[in-house]
Amino acid sequence: MTVFPPNKNTQPILIGRNPGPFQFLKGVIDELRVWNVARTQAEIEADMNRELIPQVVLSVVIDIKPGSFPNTIQLKSAGVVPVAILSSGMFDATTINPDTVRLAGASVKMVGKSGKSLAHAEDVNGDGLLDLMCDVLTEEILLEPGDSIAVLEASTSDGRKIRGEDSVKVIE
């Protein structure tokens, strides 16, 4: 790719066009980026080899307090809130890294000396696909009384992002 103009000046930046006689690039320009610092060859190469489009976040179905409704969250309780992340034909919830799970900011409770996340695979909704059951710490939940939606975000072990939400009834 030709960088033009090569020197610092007050000329407008041209992209896909020559500064002289009107001459336009015959082609397509994609993933254009402008930096306010000079970049090294290595940095440019690293970017070229990396996925630059924003990562697609996969929407998944979650069930806070499986088998129960409304999904009451009592903020001052010291316990945990169980949440199931459901698998589908498109998505295997057991590929989620439990350490990355955040339900309204709250992480999965850790147990044991090695700090293992309190999560396990279980077919919560009886569709034959194993889902991921997690117990998140109530004290970490960033919701207020009256809030009606809780969002869960997590990543799979291969780095894909997922997001799901469920209704909640938040009380003091």
Q: Which stretch binds Ca ion (CB under 5 A): 3-11, 55-63, 77-85, 108-116?
A: 55-63
In the complex, the smallest distance separating the C-beta of residue 33 from Ca ion, rounded to whole angstroms, is 42
- Tell me whether residue 11 or residue 148 sits nearer to Ca ion (CB atom): 148
- Tell me whether residue 84 or residue 137 sits nearer to Ca ion (CB atom): 84
Answer yes or no whether residue 123 interacts with Ca ion by CB under 5 A.
yes
The token duo for 129 is: 């696909």
What's the one-letter identity of residue 164?
G
Answer yes or no whether residue 129 interacts with Ca ion by CB under 5 A.
yes
On the CB side of 91, CA atoms within 13 Å amount to 22
Integer Cα distance of 7 and 71 in angstroms: 62
* Eight-state DSSP code of residue 15: S
- Tell me whether residue 16 or residue 70 sits nearer to Ca ion (CB atom): 70
DSSP structure string for 56-106 = PEEE--EEESTT-SS-EEETT-SSEEEEEEPP-SS--GGGB-GGG-EETTB
In the complex, the smallest distance separating the C-beta of residue 148 from Ca ion, rounded to whole angstroms, is 13
Answer yes or no whether residue 117 interacts with Ca ion by CB under 5 A.
no
Near Ca ion by CB under 5 A: residue from 62, 71, 150, 170: 71
Answer yes or no whether residue 65 interacts with Ca ion by CB under 5 A.
yes
Q: Are 17 and 24 in contact (CB under 8 A)?
A: yes
Q: Which residues bind Ca ion (CB under 5 A)?
A: 63, 65, 69, 71, 123, 125, 127, 129, 131
